[in-house]
Amino acid sequence: MDLKFGNMSKVYNSEFYDSVVIAILDSGDYQYQTLVPLFNEYGYGFVAPNQMLVFIDGGKKFSRNTLKWIEAHEVAHIILGHKKEKDSNDEIEADTLAHKLLVGNGYYKAAQLVKDKFKERHGIEFK
């Protein structure tokens, strides 16, 4: 389901895991300023605690490929059962699964972004 709320905000079920709702918020959304401190702390996207809900920072004007990578990465955290605060191993696992989800759904350019940025993000080569 694809719905638009406010000016640019978009809410839909993830194609990577249908039970997860994705909310892309930008400055046109009244909730955006409330979430900016969380985006600053957790990055461009995060999973709402104990929810099947992912918030993505749409205010950065990312490309579609980057947005799909962020979505797949956050959904991967849910699939993998990651529950704790940021952990470097969890981030590696999430990017690795995100790559598989992206390739499996035909997002080859987004999957290539994962590989291209992997060493920069994690200090190791993508395997």
Looking at the chain, the whole-number percentage of residues with pLDDT higher than 90 is: 75
pLDDT for 81 equals 92
Query: What are the domain boundaries of the chain?
Result: 2-121
pLDDT tens-place string over residues 62-111: 999 999 999 999 999 999 998 877 788 999 999 999 999 999 999 999 99
Place of tokens 């470097």: 88
List the Cα angle 90/127/107 in 5-degree steps.
Answer: 80
Cα 18 to chain centroid, rounded: 14
Residues 6+ apart with CB under 8 A from 74: 45, 46, 47, 54, 56, 94
